């Protein structure tokens, strides 16, 4: 499909969006900070799951300056359960850059926004178009799906060249209502032209120019490259308890779940006897095994197959932080992989 054919997109899509869009809290503002926050939170996360986090985060940290000054434990606690914690660490780093380099004013130039930590082409495009009405497409999976169907393009949408081509084609037809157009494309890709289900072509405002609809290929699109299998890792997780307090430790500052709290754990699945011996090597004296459970947690490229062992110990020894239930709930951000065991204590 040539750009001249796509030029009809804004006229078809904007009236539909104005009538049918979902009322979402981050659509009530043109301020770049909350728009940026919502876009980061929405990565790999469902809209309904984000709403509560978004409101709590803004209530606690209403400005870029507040985010830049926030201590890491408080920041991680606000993010607890959302996963992909590198997102919130980069939020803080970017906020500090904005405070130090731009006097707390969010930069308006696309190149400056793109240079901020944790911001890629999609997020920079979303911020600059929605907050500043610049013709900067925000091309994510939803938009790639819509575009593949509009153009009847069987190219794998996860290829960088396909994403670049989509971005260039959309930039050429952006209207002056850039922010609305960006959100309309997102909305179409999240609803009528959504993932993992049959497209609702009969209700789509773009069906008159959609080659996928015309050629009967829309349901088969988009195409993705074959996924690599996740690496499997076995771990034994210890939930040590003593006098109502639980042993926690911080993960390393780099790598998976960097800087977050965790229950002590070791590679492999230990037998009961091995677990008791391991606890002693950790400087603890086991009194009673309370129970054992098995759980799994899936990261993007890794699956943890975890065996959780609940152990009552004689004293709060070892190089751990021993916290009460109330202190853990208030202070310690447990990533979902470990919260699975906390919620079953």
Query: Which of 229-241 are b and which e, b meaning 16 or more Cβ less than 10 Å from the residue's Cβ?
Result: eeeeeebbbbbbb
User: Cα separations (Å) of 65 from 41, 92, 95, 157?
Assistant: 19, 10, 7, 37
What is the spatial distance between Cα 306 and Cα 268, in angstroms, rounded to a whole number? 8
Of 19, 23, 31, 39, the active-site residue reads: 39
What is the spatial distance between Cα 23 and Cα 21, in angstroms, rounded to a whole number? 6
What is the spatial distance between Cα 318 and Cα 96, in angstroms, rounded to a whole number? 36
What is the spatial distance between Cα 95 and Cα 102, in angstroms, rounded to a whole number? 10
Give catalytic status of residue 23 as yes or no: no
Using CB atoms within 10 Å of the CB of residue 73, give its burial: 0 to 12 exposed, 13 to 18 middle, 19+ buried. Answer: middle
- Show the beta-strand stretches assigned E in the chain: 231-242, 245-250, 261-262, 265-267, 286-298, 302-313, 321-324
Task: Check: CB of residue 239 under 8 Å from CB of residue 345.
Answer: yes
What is the spatial distance between Cα 249 and Cα 251, in angstroms, rounded to a whole number? 7
Q: Where in the sequence numbering do the catalytic residues fall?
A: 39
């Amino acid at each position: 499909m040539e750009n001249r054919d796509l030029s009809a997109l804004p006229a078809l899509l904007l009236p539909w969006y104005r009538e049918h869009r979902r009322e979402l809290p981050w659509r009530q503002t043109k301020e770049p900070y909350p728009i940026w926050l919502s876009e980061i939170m929405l990565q790999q996360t469902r809209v309904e799951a984000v709403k509560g986090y978004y409101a709590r985060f803004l209530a606690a940290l209403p400005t870029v300056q507040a985010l830049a000054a926030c201590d890491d434990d408080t920041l991680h606690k606000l993010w607890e359960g959302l996963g992909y914690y590198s997102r919130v660490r980069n939020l803080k780093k970017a906020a500090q850059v904005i405070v130090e380099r731009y006097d707390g004013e969010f930069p308006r130039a696309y190149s400056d926004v793109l240079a901020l930590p944790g911001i890629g082409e999609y997020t920079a495009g979303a911020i600059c178009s929605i907050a500043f009405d610049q013709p900067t497409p925000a091309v994510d999976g939803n938009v790639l799906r819509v575009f593949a169907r509009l153009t009847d393009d069987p190219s794998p949408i996860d290829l960088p060249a396909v994403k670049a081509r989509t971005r260039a084609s959309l930039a050429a037809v952006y209207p002056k209502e850039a922010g609305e157009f960006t959100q309309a494309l997102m909305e179409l890709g999240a609803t009528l032209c959504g993932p993992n289900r049959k497209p609702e072509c009969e209700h789509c405002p773009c069906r008159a120019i959609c080659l996928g609809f015309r050629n009967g290929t829309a349901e088969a699109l988009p195409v993705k490259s074959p996924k690599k299998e996740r690496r499997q890792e076995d771990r034994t997780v210890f939930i040590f308890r003593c006098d109502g307090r639980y042993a926690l430790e911080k993960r390393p500052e780099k790598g998976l779940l960097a800087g977050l709290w965790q229950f002590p754990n070791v590679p492999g699945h230990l037998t009961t006897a091995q677990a008791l011996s391991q606890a002693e090597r950790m400087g603890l004296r086991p009194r009673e095994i309370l129970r054992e459970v098995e759980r799994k947690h899936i990261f993007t490229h890794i699956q943890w197959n975890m065996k959780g062992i609940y152990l009552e110990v004689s004293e709060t020894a070892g190089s751990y932080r021993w916290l009460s239930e109330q202190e853990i709930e208030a202070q310690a951000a447990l990533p979902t992989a470990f919260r699975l065991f906390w919620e079953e204590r």
